[in-house]
Amino acid sequence: MTKTFSPADIQGIVPPLVTPFTEDGVLDEKSLRSTIRFMLNQGVHGLVAGGSSGEGYSLTTGELARITEIAAEEIDGTVPLVAGVIANSTRDAIAKVRAVQKLGISALQVTPSHYIYKTDEESMLRHFREIAAETDIPILIYNVIPWNYLSPALLLRAMREIPGVAGVKQSAGDLKSLADLMIGAQPGDRIFAAVDSLLYPCMVLGAHGVISILTTAVPGALIQLWDAVKRGDHIFAKDMHERLLRLWNAIYADNRVATTKFTLALQGAPTGHTLRPVAAVTAAQQAAIREALSQVIPPEQLKGA
């Protein structure tokens, strides 16, 4: 049955789904369903459709809607589903919101516009205000665009001034910005971490959950880390952080959508092809990922790829 969740229900490890494509660039629905089931079997606390890890920057509105629809069918109300909206204008963002808002999602993950130009603060607030006016689905601001990066002060202002803006996904390597958000947030705000190299300290600082490409690559290991922090087992958590950091260093590259798909494939998830022009995983990358992954996941659980 279809069930939606409140923003407060979205917590823990919430991986962005990869989007499997055929070699010709067609959505591979069968592999997508299998990958979603893999994620659910790992015990994830929620999923994101159409995020950066899912090549959401390349998806048509129709593809985003179909991916979201498939994810909602497979999840069947068991965990929250977030739809990613990555668009270069308020108009296009609203079109994507309209396409997914009736598909059983619990939140929208929305970026600022991202094609080279910096948006001034009032225009940025107007962007999110106009999107929020089009839907009753809560919005998480996806703070990831390097040249259109929102300060903690502006993000906190958006959460105070725009009804419907429920939280932030804080990306890039800026741990201080996440810390500033945490101390400035009100009890109802939701602050999610996406600082892949520093997820352990993000959890310790009190992030309500993690939505990041590393959670996509190894969801089970991130759940172990989350659970360890929650029970106060920092010896295990620090050790897992170090193993995950080595894996992140192997995955992190300009083709990290492809390296993440390769990492998932090693665990038995059918991830298909990546849209061109993203480069294929090199032999050196494959070897580094295999070595680092074997320190995170028992070798007998790896399938080979």
Partners of 27 in the beta sheet?
21
Cis amide prior to 146 (ω within 30 degrees): no
> How far apart (Å, rounded) are the C-alpha atoms in residues 302 and 305?
9
45's tokens? 């606390």
Of the candidates 169, 176, 200, 238, the residue annotated as catalytic is 169
* Residue in the structure block whose two tokens are 């009890």: 187
For the question of residue 261 being annotated catalytic, the response is no
Start-end of H helices in 117-255: 121-132, 152-161, 175-184, 199-204, 213-217, 219-231, 234-251
Q: Is 211 annotated as a binding residue?
A: yes
Pairing relationship of beta strands 209-210 and 190-194 according to DSSP bridges: parallel
Tell me the sheet residues that pair with 170: 143, 193
Q: Which residues pair with 109 in a beta bridge?
A: 84, 140
Among the listed residues 3, 57, 117, 142, the single catalytic one is 142
Instruction: Give 199's Cβ-side CA count (13 Å radius).
Output: 37
Please confirm, yes or no, whether 30 is among the known catalytic residues. no
Binding site per annotation, positions: 211
Enumerate the known binding-site residues for pyruvate.
211
Q: Which residues are catalytic?
A: 142, 169
